[in-house]
Amino acid sequence: MIEVHTFSQAAEAARTPGHILGGGTLLMRQVNYAPQTIEKLIRVTDPELQEIRADSTGIRIGAGVTMASIINHPDLSVLAPVARAIGAPALRNMATVGGNLFAPHPYGDLAVALLALDAFVIWSDGREEDMETFFQGRERTRGMVTHVVVPRVQSGQLRFRKVSRTRPKGISVMSIAVYLPGGSLSGRGARIAFGAMGPTPLRAKAAEAALENGAMDASGVAAACSVCGHGLAPQDDALASAWYRNEVAPVHLRRCLEGET
């Protein structure tokens, strides 16, 4: 049966094997439905996990910060529309940044934006890891993420689009985040990330390259969209088939690039 262990220090909690409880929106579901699969629940009350702090590298967001806190924080207005697209009000009061980083398909919309923004995570042992590496090793890594650091960006540099069957509050058929350093399609160095199009959020590198090398107009966008499925690995679920996801991905990427929400 389940044991619950509560720690006031994140570093101490990270040394104890078990399931780390964030907002509970995914883990408590498992507790309710399959309690026999969980031996230890690790609760961490460390206030450090709740902090949102700006420094020279960017904005440090504690793993325990909720979606509601992101929406309400003046330094995080760029991420507010992304956080607002997740769940409903009660869920946003619970769901955390840390939980979102580990959320399985089709969840984890915030993580998609973090990937596009080239954020990095900080583990409890102080190790830093960029988003892409983090996601590649996510299923195998043991440890505890205490913070994520988001570079400072201006509103207009991040475009986000969540495709769902119902609004408000739908689960992702896919989500798309595009970071445009120049704030418009005329700049270079765009980063494109897809959610619910693979086991973890994934970068659409072929589309990025097409955008980088193409004309800065509709034809460039079309070229990028046409190759956006390369490297993605969508799966079938109750919301959509892999086939459908592949078919509509270019349409939604184009709309996202053109600024439709």
Partner 1 sequence: MAKRPISFTLNGTETGIFVNEGQNLLEALRREAGDLSPKFGCGQGTCGACTILIDGAPHLGCLTLAEAAQGRSIETTSGLADGPDLHPLQRAFMEGFAAQCGFCTSGMLMAAKALLVTNPHPTRDEVIEAISGNLCRCTGYEPIVDAILDAAIRLQGRVA
Partner 2 sequence: MSIEFRKELFADERDDGLNEIGKPKLRQDIEGHVTGRTAYYDDHLLDGLLHMRCVRSPHHHARVRSIDTSEAERMKGVRRVVHADDVPHNLNTLLSLIGFGKDDEQLLSNPIVRYRGEPVLAIVADTEAIARAGCAAIRVDWEVLPHVLDVEEAIAPGAPSVNPAYPDNTFTYEPYDHVKLRFGDVQSGFAQADHIVEAEYEMSPIEQAPIETCGAIAAPETADRYVCHTGTQALFFSLGTTAKLLDLPSSRLHFIGGTVGGGFGGKVDSITEPMAVLGAMLTGRPVKFQWDREEEMQVGAPRGAERWRIKDGVTSDGRILARQFTGFFDAGAYTRLSSYAGHKGTGHLPGPYTIPNVASNVFCVYTNRTPATAMRGFGVTGVDFAIECHMDRVAEAVGIDPISLRILNAYRDGDMKAHRRVAKNCALVESCQVVAGKAGWGLSTDDMAANSLVGSSAERAAIPETALDDEGKAGERRAGRATTADPVPGTRRLPAGTHGDAKEAIPVQRPDMQILAERVGHKIPEPAAATAVTPQKVATPTPTPPSTPTMPPAMAPSSHVAAPLPKPTAATTAAEPAKPAPYKPEKPFSQGVNRPGVSRFLSGSRRR
Determine, following the binding rule CB under 8 A, whether residue 16 of this chain makes contact with partner 1.
no
Cβ 1 to partner 2, closest distance in Å?
7
Single-letter residue type at 37 = T
Phi then psi for 240, rounded to 5 degrees?
A: -165, 155
Out of partner 1, partner 2, none, what residue 87 binds, judged by CB under 5 to 8 A for its kind, is partner 1
Cβ 3 to partner 2, closest distance in Å?
12
Residue of 108, 203, 105 whose CA lies nearest to 148: 108
**Based on CB atoms, which residue is closest to partner 2, 167 or 238?**
238
83-142: contacts with partner 1 (CB under 8 A): 87-91, 93-94
One residue of 21, 70, 224, 228 binding partner 1 per CB under 8 A: 21
Cβ 9 to partner 2, closest distance in Å?
29
One residue of 12, 43, 132, 136 binding partner 1 per CB under 8 A: 43
| The pair of three-digit structure tokens given for residue 219, joined into one six-digit string | 């034809």
DSSP 48: G
**Based on CB atoms, which residue is closest to partner 1, 47 or 156?**
47
Please state, in angstroms and rounded to a whole number, the distance separating the CA atoms of residues 147 and 16: 19
Out of partner 2, partner 1, none, what residue 34 binds, judged by CB under 5 to 8 A for its kind, is partner 2
Determine, following the binding rule CB under 8 A, whether residue 36 of this chain makes contact with partner 1.
no
Please state, in angstroms and rounded to a whole number, the distance separating the CA atoms of residues 130 and 133: 6
Residue 79 contacts by C-beta under 8 Å, 6 or more apart in sequence? 70, 110, 113, 150, 158
Q: How wide is the angle at C-alpha 89 spanned by C-alphas 106 and 9, nearest 5°? A: 80
One residue of 11, 18, 31, 50 binding partner 1 per CB under 8 A: 31
Element (H, E) at 131: helix 131-137
* Residues contributing to the site for partner 1 (CB under 8 A): 1-4, 6, 21, 23-25, 28-29, 31-33, 35, 38, 41, 43, 68, 87-91, 93-94, 168-169
